[in-house]
Amino acid sequence: MTARVIPPATYYTVFAALIGLTFLTVGISFVPLGEMHTAVGLTIASIKALLVILFFMHLLYGSKANWLAIGAGLFWLGILLALTLADYFTRHWWTY
């Protein structure tokens, strides 16, 4: 099996995007968004994580087994988050 050669310009572009998103995260922290701070921060963090996983961890051109491992990990993370939130929302001190 031959390995796919990714040009260095791709890595520089992804690196620049990650730096730009980091600056965006810092800039957004000074904007009064109210309750949206968490959602905006997590969205930017998810985009950065996706770029790292796809390009620096070579998942974009990886095998199906790698995609399966990442998918299983994300599925497990979803289960853990769902159970944690189910517990959090059933606490007696939670008010709407």
CB within 8 Å of 26: residues ≥ 6 apart: none
What's the mean pLDDT in 80-91?
Answer: 91
Give the model confidence (pLDDT) of 65-80 as tens digits.
Answer: 999 999 999 999 999 9
Enclosing H/E stretch for 19: helix 8-29
Give the model confidence (pLDDT) of 26-78 as tens digits.
Answer: 999 999 999 899 999 999 999 999 999 999 998 888 889 999 999 999 999 99
Half-sphere exposure of 43 (CA within 13 A, CB side): 7
Confidence of residue 88 (pLDDT cuts 50, 70, 90): confident
Question: What is the pLDDT at residue 96?
Answer: 60
Q: Does the pLDDT at position 1 exceed 60? A: no
Q: What pTM was estimated for this model as a whole? A: 0.77
